Amino acid sequence: MRSLYGTALRMTGNAHDAEDLVQETLLRAYRGFARFAPGTNIRAWLHTILQRTRTDAFRQKQRTVRTTELIDDGPAVAVPPAAQEALASGGEDIERALGAVPEPFRTAVVLRDVEDFTYQEIAVMLEVPIGTVMSRIHRGRALLREKLGARP
């Protein structure tokens, strides 16, 4: 649950949305537990549901956005300072830099480097080919290095 919440927080950038996402993920996991194949990685399974939940929520948001003609402020937005405080305990500037990396690169880096999932697992979670996972991680790390280097 801590791993889920950590990922959700790094993805959404605020505690409220992160909790909503985790709650919805756990609810879906609970209902769909019968579909979980024993012997496989339960952590990866939960993270897959987290990503799907995120996609669904984002699609829903896009629909409402389209009808109200607002500017999309989806996952491309950086993590706001308040949530960075929660993440960066002890003044860790790497959390700030990570928060400044835009999506979809941030999630790819979080899943690979913070949560330590394999490319194969991430490809399943994000429903993209392995090549896309690799390019997103590459771009995410490059951006992150840039942000870190740019800071004093």
Partner 1 sequence: MSCPVEQITGYVDAALDDTARTEIEAHLAACESCRAQADAERALRRRLLGLLHPPLPTGIEERFRERLHRGTRVRLRRILVPLALAALLAFVWVRRQPQVVGWEMARDHRHCFGKRELPAKVWSEDAETVMRWFEDQGTRMPVVPEAAGGYAIVGARYCGFMDFSRAAHLYYRGEEKKAVSLFVLPRTLSERGPSLMVAGQHVVRISRVGDVTVGIVAEDKGDVDAFAHTFERSVASASSSP
Residues making contact with partner 1 (CB under 8 A): 1-3, 5-6, 9, 15, 19, 22-23, 26-27, 30, 86-87, 89, 92, 94-95, 98, 109, 112-114, 116, 118-119, 130, 134-135, 137-138, 141, 144-145, 148
* Distance in Å, CB of 38 to partner 1, minimum: 22
- What type of residue is 119? Y
Nearer to partner 1, 4 or 51 (CB): 4
Nearer to partner 1, 26 or 65 (CB): 26
Nearer to partner 1, 70 or 86 (CB): 86
* Distance in Å, CB of 36 to partner 1, minimum: 17
Taking each continuous run of H as one helix and of E as one strand, the counts in the chain are 8, 0
* Distance in Å, CB of 66 to partner 1, minimum: 28
Give the Cα separation of 120 and 129 in Å (integer): 9
Give the Cα separation of 93 and 121 in Å (integer): 28
Q: How many residues does the chain have?
A: 152
- What are the distances in angstroms from CA 110 to CA 10, 19, 68, 104, 137? 8, 17, 32, 10, 9
User: Smallest Cα–Cα separation from 45: which of 136, 117, 151, 119?
Assistant: 117
Nearer to partner 1, 72 or 127 (CB): 127
* Distance in Å, CB of 138 to partner 1, minimum: 4
* Distance in Å, CB of 129 to partner 1, minimum: 12
Give the Cα separation of 129 and 14 in Å (integer): 29
